[in-house]
Amino acid sequence: MPPKLIGPYRVMETLGSGGVGTVYRALDRRTSDPVALKLLSAGPALDTRAARRLAREYETLADLSHPNVVRVFDVGVFQGYPYLVMELIEGLTLRNYLNLRGADLLSPSGSFSTPRSRSLPDDFDSWSDEDEAASHADDDDEESGPSPFNLSAFSEEEPSEDMSLHAGAESVRALADAADEPDTGELEAFEEPLEVPDPKVQLVERRIQEARTEDLNRPERMGKLKDAMLQVCEALAYIHGHGLMHRDLKPSNIMVDEDRQVRLMDFGLAKFLADDAGLTADGRMVGTFRYMAPEQILGEPLDARADLYSLGVILYELMTGRTPFDAKTPSALWQQVLEVEPAPILGINLKGDPQLARVAHKLLRKEPDDRFQTAEEVYEALAE
């Protein structure tokens, strides 16, 4: 299919698609810069929550500039299709990046030799922000669903002044409001499949886990993990310093480019600390269940330490191959998060890095006051 025009952007190729939209590699014809363009479905297929997240993400990031935080450039509605233009990142999600071995890391041209995610989360096939099952923390299977619409509907001609192009986050939010109930300012939590296998499957998985921990502890992998965590800390220190919480930190929202530079992605649930609320106006939680801090589950006021708890879940998962807690239902999972101490990392991964394990366990303390208090403190502990 030949490239099409979406406002001032020329679409070059599809990077990924899902049930509510598609991400394209595009070219800004005004600057000749490559960009990533998220385009949501329109009409009856419009996902109004996704549209509001698009507007929120732009508003959150528009004035931020940090090497470890993804940049956004434009947002609006084109012929009924909400879009967000952002930095094009040629890279992999953190989990897939850590899976790479030395010989596979770079191709002769200097780029990643495996399929690249390019500004997409691991779970973009559903675009629901549900992360992979925690027991498959190092699985690198990625799928892309069929495109939900056809770009042939767009003109190849130069856009005229009267074409249906409306710039700005408010145009996206107005479109969502017209298609659905008024925006409450919040979005609900992401329900993930929470399944517990039968005992025979568990036995097999334990044996596999024992073999996999050897791979988890490869010096090259651990070096990359530590370096990535330091960069994530720098990103968190920056956004927290600007009064923001991410509120949906997880491996699929962390990308690593070809220069091994980390980018924190997907700020659709980010919120200013001064405007904090743990729950929505109608009692819904926001975030992804497996990575939620206890205070987030309880609907208590949140601060930056909730993001640090999520960072602890990520570190625990990437050191052991599983998240700290797993259960059959969300309510059972929440009970574990609130009442149960996570199994010791070094009891699961006997040869794991003791320093990283100590950092992870302190991040996972139930009480925010018992955790590291800032991302800078976490950075210092990791750098020791």
Q: Which active-site residues does the annotation give?
A: 248
Residue of 85, 288, 331, 67 lying closest to 191 (CA atoms): 288
Alpha carbons within 13 angstroms on the beta-carbon side of residue 91 total: 25
**CA angle (346, 190, 50) in 5-degree steps:** 135
Distance, in Å, from the CA atom of 302 to the CA atom of 305, rounded to the nearest integer, reads 8
**Would you state the structure tokens that stand for residue 104, as one six-digit string?**
């596979």
Distance, in Å, from the CA atom of 81 to the CA atom of 20, rounded to the nearest integer, reads 11
Question: 3-class SS at 81?
Answer: strand
368, containing H or E segment: none
Query: Looking at the chain, which runs of residues are DSSP E strands?
Result: 5-6, 9-17, 21-28, 33-40, 72-78, 81-86, 91-93, 165-167, 244-245, 254-257, 262-264, 271-272
Residue written as token pair 């939680």:
285
Distance, in Å, from the CA atom of 65 to the CA atom of 303, rounded to the nearest integer, reads 21
Question: 134-157 b/e with 16+ CB inside 10 Å = b?
Answer: bbebbebebebeebbbebeebeee
> With contact defined as beta carbons under 8 Å apart, do 118 and 16 qualify?
yes
Chain CA centroid to CA 180, Å: 25
Amino acid identity at 136 = H
Residue written as token pair 């899902």:
18
**Would you state the structure tokens that stand for residue 7, as one six-digit string?**
């406002």
**Would you state the structure tokens that stand for residue 192, as one six-digit string?**
């993930």
